[in-house]
């Protein structure tokens, strides 16, 4: 199997479980938030809230997209989910860069964020191709 075919198969498989993956991602974000709320660092509290808002919005927008009134609405909601994913990455980088959260703890969340973004991009592009937008 060619490398390109493997990538397409991998993306297709991941696209099927994007709702569950985004839900699990939100649960991981909640755990990080809860961990940071126990700390005495006020900056960690604020950053964790910002991250939790963005991270939980990914899944919420994916769920909203499922009830989209049109393909355009579906694409729009997934686009918002992508933007929230980019924001989530930013807050993770800030937390790691400021040593509020160790890099080893941020890295797996960052990797999952990148994978969610890849799947969302693939779904959006495929939907646009199929709708002629």
Domains, the chain, in order of start with CATH, read 3-131 (1.20.1440.60)
- Scanning 38-70, the segments in alpha helix (DSSP H) are 42-66
Q: How far apart are CA 71 and CA 130, in angstroms?
A: 10
In this prediction the pTM is: 0.84
How does residue 131 score in pLDDT terms, banded at 50, 70 and 90?
A: confident
pLDDT digits (tens, 9 = 90+) for 23-36: 999 999 999 999 99
H helix count then E strand count, the chain: 5, 0
How does residue 54 score in pLDDT terms, banded at 50, 70 and 90?
A: very high
Residue 1 pLDDT exceeds 70: no
Using alpha carbons, select from 39, 16, 61 the residue that is nearest to residue 105. Answer: 39
pLDDT digits (tens, 9 = 90+) for 67-85: 989 999 999 999 999 999 9
Q: How far apart are CA 6 and CA 66, in angstroms?
A: 27
């Amino acid at each position: 199997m060619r490398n390109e075919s493997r990538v397409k198969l991998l993306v297709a498989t991941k696209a099927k479980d994007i709702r569950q993956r985004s839900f699990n991602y939100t649960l991981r974000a909640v755990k990080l938030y809860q961990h940071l709320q126990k700390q005495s660092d006020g900056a960690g509290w604020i950053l964790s809230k910002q991250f939790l808002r963005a991270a939980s919005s990914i899944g919420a927008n994916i769920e909203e997209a499922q009830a989209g009134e049109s393909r355009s609405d579906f694409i729009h909601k997934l686009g918002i989910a992508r933007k929230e994913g980019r924001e989530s990455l930013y807050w993770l980088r800030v937390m790691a860069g400021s040593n509020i959260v160790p890099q080893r703890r941020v890295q797996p969340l960052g990797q999952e964020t990148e994978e969610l973004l890849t799947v969302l991009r693939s779904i959006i592009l495929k939907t646009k191709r199929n709708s002629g937008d």
